[in-house]
Amino acid sequence: MWWPVLPQLIGAALLLLAPGLIVARGLRYRGFDSLALSPALSVGVIVIAATASPFLKVRFNLLPVAVLAVLLGAIGWFVTRSRRAADVEQEPLLWGRAVPFISAGLALLVIAARVMQAIGSPEHFSQTYDAVFHLNSVKYALDTGNASSLTIGDMTGGGFYPAGWNAVATLVASTFALDVPAAVNVTSIVLAAAFWPLSCLLAARWTIGRSSAVALSAGVACASLGAFPLLMMDFGVLYPNLLSISILPGSIALAAAIARISPVWVPRGLPAILALLLSLSGLIVAHPTTFMAWLTWTAPMAGVLAWKLAKLKRRGLLRVRPARLIVPLIAYCLVFLVLWIVLRPPSDASFWGPYHTVPQALGEAIVFSPLDLPLAWLVAPIALLGLWAAATRPRYRWIAAIFLIFTVLFVVVSGFPSSKVRSLLTGVWYNDSYRIAALLPLVAVLLSAIGVEWICHQAQASAWFNRIFRREPVIGQELATRSTGAVTQTSLRRALAVVLALVAVFIGQLGGVNKEVEQAASKYTVTPGSPLVSSDELSLIERLHTEVPQDAILIGNPYTGTSLSYALGDRKSAQLHILSYVSPALQEIYDHLGAVSADPDVCKAVRTEHAYYVLDFGLVEVHGGNHTPAGLLNLAQNPGVKLVDSQGEAKLYKITACGAG
Q: Residue 280's CB: how many other CB atoms inside 10 A?
A: 17
Read off the pTM: 0.93
- pLDDT tens readout for residues 92-138: 467 678 899 999 999 999 999 999 999 999 999 999 999 999 999 99
Q: Is the dihedral of CA 619, 622, 624, 630 positive or negative?
A: negative
- pLDDT tens readout for residues 316-367: 666 655 556 677 788 888 989 998 988 887 776 777 889 889 999 999 999 9
Contact 47, 288 (CB under 8 A): no
**Per-residue pLDDT at 605 exceeds 90:** yes
- pLDDT tens readout for residues 353-381: 898 899 999 999 999 999 999 988 889 99
Q: How confident is the model at residue 483 (pLDDT cuts 50, 70, 90)?
A: low
Classify 575 as helix, strand or coil.
Answer: coil
Cα 77 to Cα 30: distance, rounded to the nearest angstrom: 13
**Per-residue pLDDT at 586 exceeds 80:** yes
Cα 605 to Cα 602: distance, rounded to the nearest angstrom: 5
Cα 38 to Cα 196: distance, rounded to the nearest angstrom: 11
Residue 411, CB-side half-sphere exposure with 13 Å CA sphere? 14
What average pLDDT score do residues 538-555 get? 95
Cα 358 to Cα 383: distance, rounded to the nearest angstrom: 22
Q: How confident is the model at residue 470 (pLDDT cuts 50, 70, 90)?
A: very low
- pLDDT tens readout for residues 233-252: 999 899 999 999 999 999 99
Cα 513 to Cα 522: distance, rounded to the nearest angstrom: 14
Q: How confident is the model at residue 569 (pLDDT cuts 50, 70, 90)?
A: very high
Q: Residue 374's CB: how many other CB atoms inside 10 A?
A: 15
Mean pLDDT, the chain, integer: 89
- pLDDT tens readout for residues 55-92: 999 999 999 999 999 999 999 999 887 766 554 444 44
Q: Residue 288's CB: how many other CB atoms inside 10 A?
A: 19
Closest by alpha carbon to 566, among 613, 501, 634, 498? 613
Contact 243, 286 (CB under 8 A): yes
